[in-house]
Structure 1
Amino acid sequence: MTYLIRDAIPQDALCIGVLGMQVFLDTYATEGIRTSIATEALQAFAPQTIARLISEPGIALVVAESGGHLVGFAQLKLRAGHPLIPGPDVAELQRLYIQERFTGRGIGYQLLQAAEERARLGGATLVWATVWVGNERALGFYPRRGYELLGSPTYTFQGETHENRLFGKALTITAL
């Protein structure tokens, strides 16, 4: 099966939102749904939120499509520093979401490569991502793709604090 990797367009907002919510809940609602998880999912993946991200300068949303269906996406923010990473020329991979039935097919790697390329084109010399400590698959994925462990920050949403791992990868600058 072939997958088309492309930049998101405004018409993708609804599908990205639903896909994002599905993957978010599969990943983080491992003990069921509670108010904080439900609120975060509804806010983060509302179609209007995604539409705003698609049009926002400094944000890149890249989707994986198969037969006209979205199966994954990557969300990158340029010039997004982190207290554990020095320098202004860094980009944050905010999300790399693949629908469960499409994992293990190389889609995550293709989306990651596309996000890294957009980071390079945006002037970034390093891409970083935080991964929740309960996400074993992602904790193994990033080191296999050349990312180094840079720290163990926490992330707080809806009044709850969660332990994470911070990964980073230096980008090689290609000569024109």
Structure 2
Amino acid sequence: MIDCREITEADNAAVAALVRDNLKARGLDIPGTVYFDEGLEHPSDFYNNDERRYYVIEDDGGQVIGGIGFARFEPMKDTAELQKLYLSDGAKGSGLGYVLIDFVEEKRREAGYKVSYLETHDNLQAAIHIYEKKGYVEIERPKEVVHSTMNRFFRKEL
């Protein structure tokens, strides 16, 4: 069992770097992605309220090596968007992505959500593979999409 904990202000820089490093490595350090979101510098300010949560996992040395979150997705009833599932290069291929998804799906059920929604991009093939293996089904692009560069959309009944 992994030990996830809620993000704190002390994690902000590590989480922002994790997100940006992953996006840059996949050619997604471009406008229309979370890479340029104003709130990325201070994710703890956005998360950790009744409708939004973000969790991090650390290595044995206390370094943040991954994270995952969720936030209410207003356009769809009883739906929370899976957000910012990122792992450090050293944590990739370890199965942690699957574990983090299971963890955050349980947290969303506890919060009363019935459906999971997510946005991703063709360049993130490893993530798409994980989502499909976890039972996510591709859907048409919702008209409410904020990150205009994202081109793949999935949903799953929780």
Counterpart for residue 174 of structure 1: none
Q: How does 1:4-153 map to 2 (within 5 A)?
A: 4-29=3-28, 36=31, 40-41=35-36, 43-46=38-41, 49-67=42-60, 68-78=62-72, 80-82=73-75, 87-152=76-141
Whole-angstrom distance in 1 between the partners of 2:19 and 2:50: 21
Does 1:170 find its partner at 2:157?
A: yes
Residues 16 and 40, structure 2, Cα contact 8 Å, conserved in 1: yes
Q: Provide closer, same or farther for how the CA distance between residues 133 and 153 of structure 1 changes in structure 2, counting only shifts above 3 A.
A: farther
Q: Provide closer, same or farther for how the CA distance between residues 114 and 38 of structure 1 changes in structure 2, counting only shifts above 3 A.
A: closer
Residues 33 and 150, structure 2, Cα contact 8 Å, conserved in 1: no
* Unmatched tracts of structure 2, length 5 or more: none
Shift of 1:57: 3.5
Q: Provide closer, same or farther for how the CA distance between residues 11 and 169 of structure 1 changes in structure 2, counting only shifts above 3 A.
A: same
* Unmatched tracts of structure 1, length 5 or more: 172-176
Give the count of matched residue pairs. 156
Q: Provide closer, same or farther for how the CA distance between residues 50 and 156 of structure 1 changes in structure 2, counting only shifts above 3 A.
A: closer
Residues 57 and 67, structure 2, Cα contact 8 Å, conserved in 1: yes
Shift of 1:14: 2.2
Query: What amino acid maps onto 1:72 in structure 2?
Result: G
Moved over 6 A (4+): none
Whole-angstrom distance in 1 between the partners of 2:122 and 2:157: 22
Query: What amino acid maps onto 1:75 in structure 2?
Result: G
Whole-angstrom distance in 2 between the partners of 1:76 and 1:148: 18
Shift of 1:163: 5.0
SS in 2 for 1:93: strand
Shift of 1:88: 1.8
Query: What amino acid maps onto 2:84 in structure 1?
Result: R
Whole-angstrom distance in 2 between the partners of 1:112 and 1:144: 11
Shift of 1:28: 3.6
Q: Identity, % of aligned pairs?
A: 21
Residues 153 and 164, structure 1, Cα contact 8 Å, conserved in 2: no
Whole-angstrom distance in 1 between the partners of 2:34 and 2:133: 33
* TM-score normalised over the length of structure 1: 0.75
